[in-house]
Amino acid sequence: MAGGDRIDLPVPNGGKPLAFAGFQACTIGGAGQQFGTAGDGYADVIWDQQNGRTRIAVDVNDDGLLTDIDQVILLDGLKTIQADDFNDVMTVVRGTTGADTVIGGNNGETFNTLGGNDIIDARGGNDIVNGGAGNDVIDGGLGSDTLNGEGDDDTIHGNDDGDTISGGDGNDTLFGDAGTDNLHGNNGVDSIDGGAGGDTVDGDSGADVLHGGADNDTVRG
């Protein structure tokens, strides 16, 4: 994919894996990261359709899962994939069923931490965090993040920028902090503080405590 080479992919009918060899010189992520290979000398490239978008995944360690060393790009309306498309990638970090501590980087990442009482610091970029079961502590950091506590009693900080925060099941504590945030308590007895910015705060079900914070907010019990 160097020197103007390209890969033309048809629109798929489902996820079908391709094994690409000889891509050691091809970098992704703009940081000199190579495709790399598992023991068979190949890196699997898998593509499918997801909500009308084309998803390209590079399974570096050939384990059939999207984990912290794998790379994903999402493309809108493109059928020709060129090397430049891999400059905008998303790292997928998968936790365990135990208590994990996960720290992100400055790019947009997806965190799936599964069970356990996890601590997730997403840091920079527009991140997606799915806390899974357990009493999780989530900090979105910089960027417009989507933060989902999911099961049990979670504490979530959106931090700066406009975030979308969902407590899920359990008695959750949500902070929008700065930015125009959208916060939902979902099930349980939740405490929600929108913080600065024109926020939308919705307790959903349960006897919730709601604070819009500074600026002009929309608050629904």
Query: Which structural domain range is residue 43 located in?
Result: 6-87
pLDDT tens figures, 80-95? 444 454 454 556 677 7
Q: How many domains in the chain? A: 2
Phi-psi group of 182: left, alpha or beta (phi > 0 → left; psi -120 to 50 → alpha; rest → beta): beta
Same domain, 10 and 40: yes
Q: Is residue 188 part of a domain?
A: yes
**In this predicted model, what pLDDT tens digit does every residue of 160-174 receive, in sequence order?**
899 999 999 999 999
Angle (nearest 5°) at CA 71 between 2 and 25: 25
Answer with the one of 41, 67, 87 that is the final residue of a domain: 87
Q: Which has the higher per-residue pLDDT, 64 or 114?
A: 114
Cα–Cα distance for residue pair 45/57, rounded to 1 Å: 6
- For the segment 191-212, what is each residue's pLDDT rounded down to a tens digit? 999 999 999 999 999 999 999 9
Global pTM reads: 0.63
Strand partners, 56: 47, 73
- Whether residues 128 and 40 fall in one domain: no
Using the 3D structure, point to which of 32, 52, 87 is the last residue of a domain.
87
Quick one: 83 and 112 in the same domain? no
